[in-house]
Structure 1
Amino acid sequence: MLVEEQVVKFRCERDTLADAVSTAQRAVASRTGALPVLSGLRLTVSRDGVEVVGSDLELTIRVRATAQVDTDGVAVLPARLFADLLHKLEPGSVSLEVKDDDAIIECGRFRTTLRTLPAADFPRIAEHDEAGVRVAAPELAEALRQVVPAASKDDARPILT
């Protein structure tokens, strides 16, 4: 049986991509025993740019970033390694190309290859309709600032939190 080669190719500013990756990485599974693919970030590349998704099955974070897209597709990269790599790169344009199981990352004279995780194993994320609630960041931050002092720091009695 022939397996079709998965190709993804795009260019993005390092700071833009690093911000998206570090935000989505907050939801990546950190506990051992989780599905191995949950240690990665799913990158969905389309003409609209790049969507970076991190999930631990309880919390999912999606971040969209603008990019120059050459080839649409989906890839899952190891979150921590990818984030660390992006933060160490010099500012400038980052090129990412995925062929089969390898992601080739280039920035200036730097070039490296990361092994990807199977994108088909990444869990489907539920799509929500537009009936959801949107809250502007400043208002949400103010609301949280008011209630966080009342939250318990001790999980010994979770019923009281």
Structure 2
Amino acid sequence: MKTSLAYPRVYLSPGDFHFATEPTRISTVLGSCIAVTLWHPQRRIGAMCHFMLPNRRIRGNRLSGKYADEAFEMFMLEVESHRTLPGDYEVKLFGGGEMFPRHKTALVSAVPDMNIEAALQLAEQYHLNVTAQDIGRTGHRNIVFDTWNGDVWVKHKPLHQC
């Protein structure tokens, strides 16, 4: 087997989505955003999104990975196009950290919680098997997802309040 350095690497910025059919390392950095990983253990294919908000008020012509509901639709389109079933995938959820706990406003405090709720609700709606999660609290997370084995590495840096 090749070392992880030999596999393609993809970095997700906020709003990005990537589905890999070959061994790939997908990474991102999260604050209040959420990353969702899907991995098919038999086929060893998988995807990750980095969404920023639960939904948008006015739907566009194209799906956008910036929004939880649309990112999950993108997952389902890939699941269908690869002739697999949603329940065949292991799903992991990350992020939703409060980034400004000392500067609480209704909107700043609500975004991480709304993102977490959307991710959990959509996973249930699509009958996805959530096998792991590291969500909430404060601070940011670095996420690395290896599609060749389904491993997700998380480095969480919480904010310390004085």
Fold equivalence (TM over 0.5): no
TM, length-normalised to structure 2: 0.26
| Structure with max Cα Rg | 1
TM, length-normalised to structure 1: 0.26
User: Higher RCO, 1 or 2 (CA under 8 Å, sep at least 6)?
Assistant: 2
